Amino acid sequence: MVTAIHRPTWVSVDLDAAAHNLQEIREWTKAKKVYAVLKADGYGLGAIPLAKAFQETASADALIVSNLDEALELRQADLTLPIWVLGAWDYSDLKLFIGHDIVITIPSLAWLQNLPDFEGTLKVSLAIDTGMTRIGFDKADEISAAKKIIDKNPQLDLFSVYTHFATADEAGEKSKAYFEEQLRRWQELTINQGFDPSLFSMANSATCIWHHDDPRISFAAIRPGQLISGVNVSNGELKMPPNLHLERIFSVCSEIADVRFVKKDQSLSYGASERMPEDGYVATLPFGYNDGWLRRMQKSSVIINGKRMLIIGRITMDQTMVKLDRKYPIGTRVTLIGKDGGEQITVEEVANYSHTIVDEIQTTLAPRIKRIYTGDLAEVIGANYG
């Protein structure tokens, strides 16, 4: 998809704030290493600029992505940090993993036992399934067998032994009990296996925030992802600690493309589902559901001139209409996520209105929206050029 550089709609990303957040998370958790999760193009904010900012500031010790193509994109952008690919992979791309020094995830004992002959050194991470039930080892004897295979094969270099907590970002006794069950399973599956504890990676974003002081959890290598954006990854279900000083790193803005006077009871947009409640002005914005602003956002708010104003009529593929309090000039800035004056719309608010999570809102911001990078690091790494 082409990026619409001539369209007055943009996502602004503060790279200095992103690097600050990683450093703050490192200090908060007292982590030895920080593996920045940049899957889904850095949660929609641009994996390459974020990765370059983290490499420039040494705020990340490694990068994590969801697939090989994302990893190759980072390597082709001259990123030299270790890169780890999550998920299960077959053997067809082993040469690419080895040739580009990319860490592959071992999903099962069978995968390891049937590993074909190869040349070079393959870096691997061992997935421990403590209750996500996606991929990974869930039997102690199979973990022991896998470790023996890895230890005996000089071509295999163990990068990480990790697990993922399913309910670390949820409140309630049931969620807490399941977290405890996963933690018990981790201890049961890894105890007396002889792993180097410095390879353990247990803490995703939510675990970093709300379980940072649990002595049973290893913070040898943490995996913050969505948290890099400075948002509440529980959608507000859990309160952010007051002493964790994260910054909001992105905003979403557009401009008024058209303003017209509309009479009371005039139908608006597709389906004529809504009528103008009174005589007044309506603005059209160059922003719609093809940009990630879902149709269900009808009757939510945007900010214009420091005031909240209502989206009126159905959101269309490329345009959205807003009921104005008065006539504004074409080109007036509109904030969909972010601050304007004393008003703020957070991504958590948008997610709750849409009955989803912050990750989905952020990662569905379309590639056609141009990204503009701010902060000193944007200039240092040339984020806005080429």
**Rounded alpha-carbon distances, angstroms, from residue 353 to 120, 218, 298, 333:** 51, 36, 10, 22
pLDDT digits 0-9 by tens, 277-299: 999 999 999 999 999 999 999 99
Mean pLDDT for all residues in the chain: 97
pLDDT at 14 over 60: yes
Q: Are 218 and 165 in contact (CB under 8 A)?
A: no
pLDDT digits 0-9 by tens, 16-31: 999 999 999 999 999 9
pLDDT at 93: 96
CB neighbour list of residue 253: distance below 8 Å, 6 or more residues apart:
9, 10, 12, 333, 334, 335, 336, 338
CB atoms within 10 A of CB 157: 12
**Rounded alpha-carbon distances, angstroms, from residue 244 to 27, 36, 235, 313:** 9, 18, 16, 40
pLDDT digits 0-9 by tens, 33-91: 999 999 999 999 999 999 999 999 999 999 999 999 999 999 999 999 999 999 999 99
| Structure tokens that stand for 96 in this block | 């690419």
Q: Give the total residue count for the chain.
A: 386
pTM of the complete model: 0.96
Query: How do strand 200-201 and strand 267-268 relate by DSSP bridges?
Result: unpaired
User: In the block, which residue shows the tokens 């929609």?
Assistant: 44
Q: What is the dihedral of CA 176, 178, 184, 189, to 10 degrees?
A: -150
Relative orientation angle of helices 173-190 and 140-152, to the nearest 10 degrees: 50
d(CA 45, CA 39): 10
| Structure tokens that stand for 372 in this block | 């503009």
Rounded to a whole number of angstroms, the CA Rg of the chain reads 23
Model confidence at 385, pLDDT cuts 50, 70, 90, reads: low
CB neighbour list of residue 42: distance below 8 Å, 6 or more residues apart:
48, 49, 50, 51, 228
pLDDT at 153 over 60: yes
Catalytic residues: 39, 270
CB atoms within 10 A of CB 170: 18
| Amino acid code (one letter) for 234 | S
Model confidence at 1, pLDDT cuts 50, 70, 90, reads: confident
